[in-house]
């Protein structure tokens, strides 16, 4: 029996350089007998020549719409907006199961075309834990931006971050951060230099994103306090937060708990805190542990000024791993590959649960 045909479509979301399938992953699929087609893309962090070298079929961007019906269309972010029926099986983050904008129109396209969706967010193991996630690199990137913002604050750069773009790799980012810290400590022209490097407090340090944030701090030899359930069980607000220079929240709360911080807490005169990064980034939810902001920030405008009198900036970007598309794609792709290799039998593994969820959602339309 022939193996499945996996078709990697080009991402079209602006500035999205990540991919669900790296050249290394494509090679392993081909070696296992799968047919792999890859769309050419100027956005993909991996040059198309790297895919060519592992003998994939390279095709023009957007040609998935004319792919054989049996091809499984693999992507990462949203499909381009359109209204034609979807006839294929698709694997990607559809953001259509929590009443997000346009969810009914999207699922109606699947229903009309007879296609099926295996949403990456809902590929879970028997413990309902995602089998692949970008969490580690979200935390790492969030930590990196917090340090860069802190350093620029010391130099009276306002805003401390603007028009962020991705880095070629982790080492390039670390080099930039080390230089920024050095300048902040020794070359501040418009403000007294700080006495020491910044101290970070990571809440949710035992999770994927928390570990990434802590590892960023350690890579820069910065002091980091790693909090998790034991440190937060007493309930917030936590006055200790004010004594850190940087707070990184990596906890996604799904129940009603006292907030970690409040405006009243942040108004205290002894506050050292000047940068907050909300990696979990859920300002629209009712359980937001940082109820001091109501909207996400972006790569173009990363910082929201919370306090002007005694500077406090907040970063809440919902696609942080895009800062390091190479490492985040390699990590995510390796996690996902194990399950892509089982696509010949979608009656087992992570696929039945994802399909059942899709069917239940489309049934309501």
pLDDT in tens, 66-89: 999 999 999 999 999 999 999 999
pLDDT score for 188: 54
150-170 burial code (b ≥16 CB/10 A, e <16): bbbbbbeeeebbeebebbeeb
- CA distance linking residue 248 with residue 19, whole number of Å: 26
pLDDT score for 256: 82
Q: Is residue 48 part of a domain?
A: yes
Do both 210 and 292 map to the same domain? yes
Do both 117 and 143 map to the same domain? no
Do both 258 and 283 map to the same domain? yes
Contacts of 141 (CB under 8 A, 6+ apart): 212, 320, 321, 322, 323, 324, 328
The one catalytic residue in 77, 183, 272, 310 is 77
Q: Is residue 85 part of a domain?
A: yes
The one catalytic residue in 24, 27, 95, 206 is 95
Do both 38 and 146 map to the same domain? no
Contacts of 212 (CB under 8 A, 6+ apart): 135, 136, 137, 138, 139, 140, 141, 142, 143
Residues in the chain: 365
Instruction: State pLDDT tens for residues 280-295.
Output: 998 887 789 999 999 9
Q: Is residue 162 part of a domain?
A: yes
Concerning whether 88 is annotated as a catalytic residue, the answer is: no
Q: Is residue 280 part of a domain?
A: yes
Do both 139 and 287 map to the same domain? yes
Do both 194 and 308 map to the same domain? yes
Range of the domain at 187: 135-318
> Strand runs (DSSP E) across the chain, as ranges?
5-8, 35-39, 57-59, 72-74, 89-92, 116-119, 199-203, 223-227, 246-249, 275-278, 303-307, 312-315
Contacts of 309 (CB under 8 A, 6+ apart): none
Q: Is residue 110 part of a domain?
A: yes
- Chain centre distance of CA 165: 15
Do both 87 and 156 map to the same domain? no
Do both 300 and 350 map to the same domain? no
Do both 242 and 175 map to the same domain? yes
For residue 190, what pLDDT band results from cuts at 50, 70 and 90? Answer: low
Do both 237 and 347 map to the same domain? no
The CATH number of the domain holding residue 189 is: 3.40.50.720
- CA distance linking residue 74 with residue 87, whole number of Å: 14
Do both 198 and 255 map to the same domain? yes
Query: Is 357 exposed, middle or buried (CB count within 10 Å of its CB: 0-12, 13-18, 19+)?
Result: middle
- C-alpha distances (whole Å) from 24 to each of 61, 77, 172, 207, 330 are 20, 20, 22, 27, 9
DSSP 8-state secondary structure symbol assigned to residue 138:
H
Q: Is residue 323 part of a domain?
A: no
Question: Rounded mean pLDDT of 152-169?
Answer: 96
Instruction: State pLDDT tens for residues 202-241.
Output: 999 999 999 999 999 999 999 999 999 999 999 999 999 9
Q: Is residue 220 part of a domain?
A: yes
What is the number of domains present in the chain? 2
Average pLDDT taken over every residue of the chain: 95
Do both 197 and 242 map to the same domain? yes
Concerning whether 77 is annotated as a catalytic residue, the answer is: yes
Q: Is residue 309 part of a domain?
A: yes
């Amino acid at each position: 029996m022939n193996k499945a045909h996996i078709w990697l479509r080009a991402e079209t979301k602006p500035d999205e350089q990540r991919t669900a399938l790296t050249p290394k992953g494509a090679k392993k699929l081909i070696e296992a007998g799968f047919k792999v087609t890859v769309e050419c893309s100027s956005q993909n962090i991996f040059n198309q020549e790297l895919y060519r070298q592992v003998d994939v079929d390279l095709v023009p961007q957007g040609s998935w719409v004319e792919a054989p019906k049996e091809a499984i269309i693999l992507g990462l972010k949203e499909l381009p907006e359109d209204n034609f029926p979807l006839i294929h099986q698709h694997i990607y983050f559809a953001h259509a199961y929590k009443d997000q904008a346009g969810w009914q129109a999207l699922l109606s396209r699947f229903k009309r075309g007879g296609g099926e969706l295996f949403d990456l967010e809902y590929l879970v193991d028997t413990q309902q834990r995602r089998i692949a996630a970008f969490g580690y690199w979200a935390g790492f990137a969030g930590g990196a931006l917090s340090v860069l913002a802190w350093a620029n604050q010391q130099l009276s750069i306002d805003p401390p971050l603007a028009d962020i773009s991705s880095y070629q790799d982790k080492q390039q980012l670390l080099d930039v951060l080390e230089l920024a810290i050095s300048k902040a400590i020794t070359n501040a022209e418009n403000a007294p230099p700080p006495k020491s490097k910044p101290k970070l407090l990571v809440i949710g340090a035992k999770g994927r994103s928390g570990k990434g944030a802590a590892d960023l701090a350690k890579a820069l030899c910065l002091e980091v306090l790693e909090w998790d359930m034991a440190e937060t069980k007493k309930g917030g607000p936590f006055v200790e937060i004010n004594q850190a220079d940087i707070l990184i929240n990596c906890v996604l709360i799904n129940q009603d708990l006292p907030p970690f911080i409040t405006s009243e807490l942040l108004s205290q005169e002894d506050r050292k805190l000047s940068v907050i990064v909300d990696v979990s980034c859920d300002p629209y939810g009712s359980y937001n542990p940082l109820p001091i902001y109501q909207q996400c920030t972006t790569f173009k405008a990363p910082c929201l000024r919370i306090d002007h009198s005694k500077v406090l900036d907040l970063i809440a970007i919902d696609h942080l791993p895009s800062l390091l598309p190479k490492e985040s794609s390699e990590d995510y792709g390796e996690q996902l590959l194990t399950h892509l290799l089982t696509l010949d039998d979608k009656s087992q593994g992570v696929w039945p649960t994802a399909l059942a969820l899709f069917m239940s959602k489309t049934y309501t339309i």
